[in-house]
Structure 1
Amino acid sequence: MPRFILGLTLLFWGWQTGLWIFAIPFALVVEAAPWWPSRWDFGDDDFKNIFNFCIMLFLIVGVYFFITSRNLETGYLFIRLQPIFFLLLLTTQLYSNRDRISILVFFPFLSGEQPAAVGVPFPSTGNLSTSAEADLALDLRYGYFGLCLIAASAANTPGYGFYLGMVALVMGMLWPGRSRRRGGGYWLLLMVLAATLGFGGSLAVNRIHRAFEQQVINWISDYYRQDADPYQRDTAIGELGNLKQSNAIAFRVSAADRARVPKLLREATYNRYQSPLWVATEADFATVQPGNTSSGDPGSDISSSKISSSEISSNPPESTGSGQWLLDPSVDPVTLAQSPNRLTIAGNLREGKGLLKLPPGPVLLDPLQVKTVERNPYGTVRVEGSGGSLVYGVVFDPRRNDDAAPSEADLGLPPGERDVLEAVVAQLHLTEQQSQDVPDLLTQYFQQNFQYSLDLKATQGNLTPLSSFLLETRSGHCEYFATATTLLLRAAGIPSRYAIGFSVHEFSPLEQQFLVRTRHAHAWSLAYINGAWQTLDTTPGEWIEAENRVAPPWAFVGDWLSFAGFRWGLLWGQLKQINVRDYWWVLMIPLVVILLRQLDFQKQVQRLAVNPKATIAPPPDDWPGLDSELYTIEQVLAQADLARKPSETLGHWIDRLQSLPDASPHLQSLQPILDLHNRYRFDPQGLNTADRQRLRHLSTTWLQRWHQGTPV
């Protein structure tokens, strides 16, 4: 390792983390080691004990942080402290008589014998066992260097200082090992180019990280997403920033005739606005009784026309009935059996409870395998069953609407919005129009003068968020449009309610059904005109395109995985309904195969014929030339203070020795030995017998003359 690089790395760690009180003395201790006049002879047990001490210190501090403060910042702080925990282990090596430590000291289970520590860089001799032992040796300085960089990165200091400092330190570490075939300038140019590309790559990775982080947040929010509260709805009216929407698939909708699938599926309805909340008053739920499909019941004909078995819920029946629930008992079940308005909705029932997504005028739920079904006066349907997937069929009549008749609450206006609402009504002359003409006028007003946006802007002056939307910004999402429309209808004397649910518009050719995503959540108004509740959606049509632009380019991957999970859920549901006892013979097939293999006498005889005493030839040596006598010469010269540096090749080492001012004449005669060694070590053809004997003879002669001091 280059001189001073470890000390500079510790100072860099102190700069990034602010832990100068540790970094400066640590750097001095580390860099003073080469000049220290003495060394200690630490044994393997000493290194093992020190390593265990460092690990225990690491665990104690980690457990303390986990108990006292469980947050992300504490985790980063713990990473920044890593160089403190293992400094003692590093200094033990630096001030010992060993430059490497056997890995078996730290992982004794890798070998049955306790190894000796290694102190000579590989390859040290021609002895193969010593070289194999050196392969398991570690120089702790390199590991500590990387540990300091990781600890410095956990500080997450703003600016480019970390990247530039890391590049400089890595270049300093790699400088001694650069290729000598090119000049240093060429090497520096390549390193600068690599660092530049790495910087650009780091920016790209940072963007990918942010996108992935946002996607994880979406996944977590989808997983923990709660169904709508039937009693109140907290809108984003008045919030600032960009409204985040998830691309996850919430549920699927299929029908025999795609044209009969309604554009909106309602989940809940509210009748009182308390900014930014919508509240459902007097919204008590009443229990819906299950249907009866026993023999002789006219409703039994419905079962024969239910959704196909491949689309039925994977949950086993839990209700006391047959999975059929009449939302309007006055309707003739036989007539419903012939209705073409039939949907199948496949979603999830989180924590065993939830609200159903229903089309306008639902009259029959069949099949729906749950324990209980409840409905409130505003058409919100709540069910309770087991958690997991839930698939249900719905028969509906768009002309019917069984929601409760209007009350005073359906004409109520919030005091803070009344003046602005009445001003807009007067501007549009809504009170002068026929009731049935008001929805078209409001739709035209919002379509021509407003735009859809997910960017939530601040209000101006003392205006409320809704008043600012109507008078100034004229930009917002569906909750703004639905709330404003509902209140404007009331200001015009028309009872109205606020409804939420989902828009159904994305058809999947792969699945041959509609996909409804979380970002397809929508809000609209219900207006009571001519004795019936009518749906009124004034949100500009471009909202769908705006939502589609939010979808990430890799959304198709999640769609494929979701579809695979959906199909597997259906298949698993069918498998759970199969009586295993009817297919006992399938389980017997592997047992019969095993029995037939046991009766294969010929194979058993052939196995017994194998000679157990036969020995297997050892594999050929993958590294020829390790027994070259030049390694012995290297060891002898090392004892004479002429050791080869760790970064030097044998050729550069011998050239350096021959260029010394007081070089011995013996060093000039090493070139023929080196040439034969390189052929023996690296040439695929190796050495023939004569050349191999010549290498041995030249090396032996050289060693004899070196020890005798005889001139060459």
Structure 2
Amino acid sequence: MKAPRFFLGTIVLFWGWQVHTLWIAICLAAILESSRVVKSKFEFKPSDFNKFVDISIVFLGGVIVISLTLEAQKAILIILKWLPLVFFPVIAAQEFSLKGTIDSRSFFIMGKKRLKTNSYDFKEIDISFLYSLFCILACATANSKGLLFYASVVLFFVWGLWQVRSRRVSFFLWALCIFITIVLGFAGHNTIRLASMRINQWIMDYYTGYYDDNPFKNFTALGEIGKLKLSDKIVLRASFQDYIAGKTYLLHKASYTGFSISNWYAGYGFEPIENTHDKTFWQINPLVNPSRKMTIYFRPSKKIAVLSLPSGVISISEMKAGACNKNAMQSVRVENVPPLIKGIVSYSGILSYDAIPSDQDLQVPKNELPGIVKIVEELALDKMSEQEILNTIRHYFLTEYTYSMDLKGKQDRQTPLQNFLNHTKSGHCEFFATATTLLLRQAKIPARYATGYMVHEYSRLGNQLVVRQRDAHAWAKAFVNGQWKNFDTTPPGFLEMDRQKIESSMIYDFFSFLGFKLSQLRHETGAKLMKQYGLWLILPLGLTLFFRLRRSNKIKMIKLSDKPREDTKQDSHDISFSLIEKALIQQGFPRYPHETYFSWLDRIGHHFANKDLNNSLQALLRLHNQYRFSSFGLGKDEKKAFDLDIKNTVEKLTSASF
């Protein structure tokens, strides 16, 4: 079904107006509408149309390559936005073709497949309405709101549906149905929009309250890190400038000061970090020399995340984020981040910028005090220097306790920590860190509880250190000699025990690395990657197109005569049942608008003097339907016989002998 005159031009102009490319749209619309004016047309073969399809594929490939540097949502919008321009060569070829349609074989990608196709295995199709749909989709990427956009889209649909409306239905009934559809469509669209806004508001309200109460997060419970250790999922990748094979690194995520019944709390809020560059450089703390470097890659699950960083972070560069915040405990939170976060971190490695100790850093909960006091007295920690206290506590846990992920139940009237200290003497890192922090406090050394990751696994895929969820770790921070220092008393064999409990999968690691590289290609350097490699990505498509067009035959241009186009089509090899219909109408047997061909022949059949004529017409009608609508169509010989029977029957009908 052909689009009405000026329909394509108008909808292309609408696209240009919506996406702010009006000057391009004016050129495209002028070219399309000029096809109705010019008298010369091109006789395109299927192979010729296929070349125009190739051009569109190259355009589409170029748009996709450019979109690789964008986020997935933006990339999809960019591709949709340029669909009218991408497929313009195909629609222009159709409009300037002799038949005004496209051979379906033109869309076959493989040439051999196209050549083997029989002539009756294809259809002549018109893509004008499909192209119009692409224009509407492209207009939607402009995120237009209000009645004007909706009214414009409705106008185009009514305009297009008008010419395909059923003549059996009155204009009033047709208009009423269209009006009801428009009203219901607008009401449904508005209802969905309001529901979406309400759901989004509920989600924002929930998370707003969550972050107000738990600023990522202001508490952690014993057992949370143990849950993470049950997964080998890779959560981040890191490269250290001073990496030494076999060395382990602690990446700090959050610190906590208050402890009460299995829960640690932090009372420090986040403050924004000023950005003086292009939203990629963040000065976390004052500059010191010398400094070390590390590169970190992290794929957040949300638009907001807390980074895992080494001690003494000075600055982070090449990190794209809408905002960056930190608290006095040196937790760094980023907001409005891309799907892949990259950061080059400068850090001291020794110097810490944590808030100075407060009274809370020396408090031990009353319900934990008896067990803690007993161990302090047993070890005589109150008679030692700071360094001796650290050495004694480390040796005590190394020799008297074991690491285990399988925790036993607590005794009656005992807390989980007391059960660990007095009964099981076995647990995972959270229990060692908590017990160490409280022992240091009882020995008059300010201490805090810290969480993050232990980095130790080197991967040959990418030559980087990978960090898995099972590498989640907890340790203590001690304020010694006027500086906060990491103090880890968990037995060093815990890494191997965690690995044996949850082994990594080579297949999973490979696909994780592949996903990381794809994200890196899309997000890490963006326009820089396109500038360096974009030509090489598009070049193969361009060369393929060049050689295919070079091998193409010369396209023949034909000047149309003044006779109607439908007559020109009938003079070609395509002869249809419509010739018989015209002959019968001339003999005074018109077909009513509500009648099918078969019911029409049944009604007028008794008027024929030749009784076999009606049966012959019925047989020709069945062959006509098979040729037009069946997927099998007619073979070459069958089609020739059909055309000959049509001509003979028309001759009989035009004579008065029937």
**How does the TM-score come out when normalised to structure 2?**
0.48
| Higher alpha-carbon Rg | 1
Bigger relative CO (Cα 8 Å, ≥ 6 apart): 2
**How does the TM-score come out when normalised to structure 1?**
0.45
